[in-house]
Structure 1
Amino acid sequence: MSSITTAIILAAGMGSRMKSRYPKAMQRLGNRPMIGHLLETAQHSVDQIIVVVGPGMEELTHYVQPHQTIIQAERLGTGHAAKIGVSSLTEGKAVILYADNPLLTEDTMQRLLEAHTHDNKLSLLGMRPHNPGYYGRIIVDQKGMVERIVEYKDATEAEKQTTLCNAGMMCADVSDLKRWLAEITPNNAQNEYYLTDIVALAAREGHVTCVEGGEEELAGINSRAELAQAEARLQDRLRFRAMEQGVTLIDPASTFLSIDTKLAPDVIIEPHVFIGPGVTLEEGCLIRAFSHLEGCHVKANAVIGPYARLRPGTLCHEETHVGNFVELKNTTLGAGSKVNHLSYLGDSEVGTHSNIGAGSISCNYDGVFKHKTMIGDDCFIGSNSVMVAPVKIEDEAMTAAGSIITHDVPAGALAFGRARQANKLEQGRALQAALRKKKERG
C-alpha cells in the first residue's frame, strides 16, 4: 500500500444561506477565510492537498495556492465533487474534507487517518450534537459497525431518532473511492450524487469505522448564525490557549483574538480589546481596555491604551506608552517614548525617550503621496503641534504648543510655528454683550 496521503477539500459550494456573493469557503473566521484553517490543519497530516472549487471562484483559487485546484463545473452533489477530486490520483489513500468544517483539529484528523487500516475499508467522522437537526444519521448494526448513512430528507422517522450524526469527512484507499464513487446514483430527494452513499458500498466489502469527535469542532457552517457560533467556539479555543501560555485575560469573553495572534507570557489584556490579524505582543506588555490592534508589533513592557488604535506597520519598542484616543499607522515608536493623548502619527519614525504632546498630528498625506515625519531622540513635541511631512525634527529639539511645523528643526532647537498672540483690551466683553443682545432680539 502506498504511503501517499491526499486531502480532497470540497469547496465548490456558494452557500446560498449565507446570502453572499463570496464562496462559503471564503467567509472569515478568526480573521482568516474559513478554508485557511482547514488547509493549515491538513498540511500537518497529509502529503498533498487538492481543493475542488466551483466555476468563477478565482479569489478562492488564488487563496489556496500553491495547492492544486480542480473545477466542479456542475454542482451535482458531494459525491460528484469527490469523484472529480480523486480523478487525478492513482495511488495511496485520500481523506475527504469539507471547507465548511474549519474547526477540525489535527488530533481528530489524525485519528480518522489512523482508523483506516487494512481491516477497515473506510473510516468516517461522526458526532452526537446537542440538536441533531438536519444532519445525516449514521446507522450501525447490533455490533456497532457502520452499515450506511441516511440523509435527513431521506430518513424514516425511526432513523431520525438516531443520535450519531455524520460529520461528512472520511478516509479510504484511492482505488476503493474511485470504484465506489463510480457506482453511486442520484436516486434521492435532492437528485444529487451523495458522497454518503459510498458508506453502504464499503460496508458490504468490509468494516466501516466511525471515529467520534465533538460538536465544537465538527459542526458544519451553512449560515451566518452558524458562522457566528463557530467564531465563538474558535475564540474560546484561542483564549484558552493564550491563558495556557501565560497570558492574563482580565475578561476573556470580551477579548477578540485572531488565529495568527502571537502572545508572549505575562502579557496582560484588559476587557474589550480587539486584536486583528498580524499582531505580536511581547513579554510583559499591557493592552488596556477598548483598544484596537492590527498588523502591529508591541515589544516588552509597553503600555497601549485605553482607547488606543494601532494600525498596520506600527512598531512600539520597549516601554513605550500609547494612551487615550491615540492612533498610530505605519509608525515606529522608539524605546521609552510616549504618545499619551488624542494624537495621530502616520508614516512616522520617533526615536527613544521622546514625548508627543496631546493633540499632535503628523500630516502624512497630500492627497496623492504619503510622506514621512522623522522625530529624533529625547524630543518634546508641544501639545497641538501639526507636523507637515516631509519634515525632520532632530535629537533634543522642541516644538512650542500649537505650532505648525513645515520645516526641519535642528538638534536642540525650539521651533515656534504659530501666529503672534494679540490682546485687544475690552473687545471680548463688548463682543459678548453684542451677541447677547442679538440673541434677545431673536
Structure 2
Amino acid sequence: MDKCVLILAGGKGKRMKSDLPKVLHKVCGKEMLNHVIDVMRKSDFESINIIIGKGADQVKIATKEKNVTYSFQSEQLGTGHAVMCAKEFLKDKDGIVAIFAGDAPLISEDTVKKFIKFHEQGGYKATLLTSILEHPDGYGRIIRNSQDGVERIVEHKDCSADELKVKEVNAAMYCFDIKILLNGLEKIKNDNAQKEYYLTDMIEILRKAGEKIGAMAIDFEETLGVNSRVQLSEVERIMRNRINKKHMENGVTIIDPNCTYIGEDVQIEKDTIVYPGNVIEGNSIIKEGCILYPNSRIVSSIISENVTIQSSVILESKIGSNTTVGPFAYIRPETSIGSHARIGDFVEIKKSKIGNNTKVSHLTYIGDAEVGKNCNFGCGTVVVNYDGKEKHKTIIGDNSFIGCNTNLVSPVEVEDNTYIAAGSTITEKVPEGSLAIARSRQVNKKDWVSKNNLKK
C-alpha cells in the first residue's frame, strides 16, 4: 500500500510583498517548505510531491537535495485545482495520500504520525485536522451532523449567519484514500464566491457518497500558516521558543531564550551555556561544556568540547576541544582548528588547518595554510596567499615562532622549530631550526630633521 504526501507550494503570496515565493521565506534559518518536507520525511512517507506554480524554478533549486517530485499548477484556481494538478503523480498509486501546506511549517512529526494512525485505525476514506477557536474569523468552518460526523466544510466567505457561529475550524490538512480522492476530484465545481475549486468540497461529496469521514482536533498553533510578514514573525517566535525549550530540557543553559536564535537542525550537548545574541545555524554541532558568550554567529560548524567563543563568526569549520575563539575573530569556511588553541581578536582564518596548542592571538590573517602544533603568531602577521590571479598555499611546521608584522608570501614553507624575526617578509623556505631575518639593516641619519627644515 502506497503512503505519499502532497505539499501545496504554488502560491506567490502577494501579501508578503516579495519577489521570493512565499514558501521559501525562512523560519529559524530554514525555508518554510523545507521545514514541512523534513517533517514529512521523518513521518515515514515513501514519496513526497510538491505542487509548484509561481516561482517554480526557485522552489526546485531550494529543494533539489530533498529527493522529491513536482507537479505544476499553471494557474492558481484553488486548493482543489492544486490537487488536480497532481493526478499524474497519484494515478498508479493505491493507498493513502496526505495533503499539507508548504506555508504552515509548525506541524510536528508527532502530530503527523498520530494523524495517519487515526485515519488508518478509524477506517476513514477522508480525515481532516481541525482546531477550536474562540474567534474563528477568516477560517473555514467544520459543519457536523446530528451524529457528530463531519457534514461539510464551509469557507468563511460562503458561511451563513448560523455557520459563522461555529468555532471548529478547518486546518487545511487532510488524509485521503487515493482512489476515492481521484474519483471525487472529478465532481468538484467552482460555483462559489471566488470561482475557485475548493478541496474542502471533497468532504461533502464523499459524505453524500456514503463514505466514512474523520476529523482529529489539534493545537491551533501547529496549523498556523503564513500569509504576511507579520505572520512570518509570529511563526518564527513560536518555532524559536520550541527549539530553545528542547535544548534547555536536554541540559543546555540559555541565558535569555528570547534573544537566542538557534536553527532547527542544530545539535547542542549538555552543560553548554549560550548567552544572548548568539545565532547558531545550519547543521552546527556544539558539544559538551562550551561557553558561547554574547553575539556570535556559527553556521554549519562543529564546536568540540569545552570551547569558549566570544563575539565571533564561524562558518562551515571545525574547532577543537578546549580552544578559545575571539573576541572578533572571523573563521571562514573549510577551516579546522586544533585543540587547546587560541584564536584571538581581529584574527581572520580562511581554508586553513591550525594545529593543537597553536596561538594566533591578534590582528592576523591566515589563508590557504597548513599550520603545525605549538606555533605562535605575533601581532600583524599576514599569509599573502593571493598573487592577483591564483591562491597559493603556505606550510608552517611544528613549534614555529612567527614574529610580529611578518609577511609569508605564498607558496612558501616554514619548517619545524624555526623563528622568524619581526618585520620580515618571507619568500623562500625557512629550514628547520633556523632564524629567518628578511628586513633591511637600520640606518640612522644624524641631524636629518634639522637639515631638511622639518623641526617643529
| TM-score normalised according to structure 2 size | 0.85
Write the distance in 2 (CA, Å) between the matches of 1:260 and 1:433: 65
Write the distance in 2 (CA, Å) between the matches of 1:196 and 1:215: 18
Write the distance in 1 (CA, Å) between the matches of 2:145 and 2:452: 95
Residues 1:146 and 2:145 aligned together: no
The answer to whether the Cα contact below 8 Å between 1:30 and 1:231 also exists between their aligned partners in 2 is: yes
1:309 CA displacement = 2.8
The answer to whether the Cα contact below 8 Å between 1:285 and 1:299 also exists between their aligned partners in 2 is: no
Structure 2 residues without counterparts, runs of 5 or longer? 300-315
What's the counterpart of residue 173 of structure 2?
A: 169
Q: How does 1:263-342 map to 2 (within 5 A)?
A: 263-294=268-299, 295-342=316-363
> Which residue of the other structure, out of 92, 95, 104, is the alignment partner of 1:92?
95
The answer to whether the Cα contact below 8 Å between 1:8 and 1:51 also exists between their aligned partners in 2 is: yes
Write the distance in 2 (CA, Å) between the matches of 1:286 and 1:100: 35
The CA deviation string for residues 56-81 of structure 1, in whole angstroms up to 9 with x for no partner, is: 62232244343221111222111111
Write the distance in 2 (CA, Å) between the matches of 1:228 and 1:16: 17
Alignment-mate amino acid for residue 368 of structure 2: D
Is the deviation greater in 174-183 or in 283-292? 283-292
The answer to whether the Cα contact below 8 Å between 1:281 and 1:297 also exists between their aligned partners in 2 is: no
> Which residue of the other structure, out of 185, 195, 199, is the alignment partner of 1:191?
195
The answer to whether the Cα contact below 8 Å between 2:49 and 2:89 also exists between their aligned partners in 1 is: no
With over 3 angstroms needed to count, the CA separation of the structure-2 counterparts of 1:380 and 1:235, relative to structure 1, is farther
The CA deviation string for residues 218-244 of structure 1, in whole angstroms up to 9 with x for no partner, is: 211122232222222222222222233
Residues 1:348 and 2:369 aligned together: yes
Alignment-mate amino acid for residue 21 of structure 2: P
Alignment-mate amino acid for residue 401 of structure 1: A
The CA deviation string for residues 147-203 of structure 1, in whole angstroms up to 9 with x for no partner, is: 322223323455444433322110010011112222111122221111122122234
SS class of match (2:85): helix
The CA deviation string for residues 365-389 of structure 1, in whole angstroms up to 9 with x for no partner, is: 3343222232222222233333332
What's the counterpart of residue 436 of structure 2?
A: 415
What's the counterpart of residue 216 of structure 1?
A: 221
What's the counterpart of residue 127 of structure 2?
A: 123
1:425 CA displacement = 5.3
What's the counterpart of residue 14 of structure 1?
A: 12
| TM-score normalised according to structure 1 size | 0.87
The CA deviation string for residues 312-359 of structure 1, in whole angstroms up to 9 with x for no partner, is: 212222222223233322222222222232333222222222222333
With over 3 angstroms needed to count, the CA separation of the structure-2 counterparts of 1:75 and 1:367, relative to structure 1, is farther
The CA deviation string for residues 251-285 of structure 1, in whole angstroms up to 9 with x for no partner, is: 33332222332333333333322223243333333
Structure 1 residues without counterparts, runs of 5 or longer? 436-442
Alignment-mate amino acid for residue 143 of structure 2: I
RMSD (Å), alpha carbons: 2.8
Write the distance in 2 (CA, Å) between the matches of 1:345 and 1:232: 38
What's the counterpart of residue 112 of structure 2?
A: 109
Write the distance in 1 (CA, Å) between the matches of 2:155 and 2:451: 85
Write the distance in 1 (CA, Å) between the matches of 2:391 and 2:15: 42
Alignment-mate amino acid for residue 22 of structure 1: L
The answer to whether the Cα contact below 8 Å between 2:106 and 2:239 also exists between their aligned partners in 1 is: yes
The answer to whether the Cα contact below 8 Å between 1:293 and 1:309 also exists between their aligned partners in 2 is: no
1:105 CA displacement = 1.0
Is the deviation greater in 396-405 or in 89-98? 396-405
The answer to whether the Cα contact below 8 Å between 2:71 and 2:89 also exists between their aligned partners in 1 is: no
SS class of match (2:84): helix
Write the distance in 2 (CA, Å) between the matches of 1:431 and 1:159: 97
1:142 CA displacement = 5.3
1:420 CA displacement = 4.0
Equivalenced residue count is 433
Alignment-mate amino acid for residue 110 of structure 1: K
1:110 CA displacement = 0.8
SS class of match (1:343): strand
The answer to whether the Cα contact below 8 Å between 2:12 and 2:54 also exists between their aligned partners in 1 is: no
SS class of match (1:211): strand
With over 3 angstroms needed to count, the CA separation of the structure-2 counterparts of 1:265 and 1:28, relative to structure 1, is same
SS class of match (2:89): coil
Alignment-mate amino acid for residue 194 of structure 1: Y
The CA deviation string for residues 71-106 of structure 1, in whole angstroms up to 9 with x for no partner, is: 112221111111222443231110011111122111
Alignment-mate amino acid for residue 145 of structure 1: G
Residues 1:394 and 2:415 aligned together: yes
Residues 1:374 and 2:372 aligned together: no
1:212 CA displacement = 2.6
1:431 CA displacement = 9.3
Is the deviation greater in 277-286 or in 329-338? 277-286
Alignment-mate amino acid for residue 251 of structure 1: D
> Which residue of the other structure, out of 239, 246, 252, is the alignment partner of 1:241?
246
Using the aligned pairs only, state the percent identity: 36
What's the counterpart of residue 68 of structure 2?
A: 67
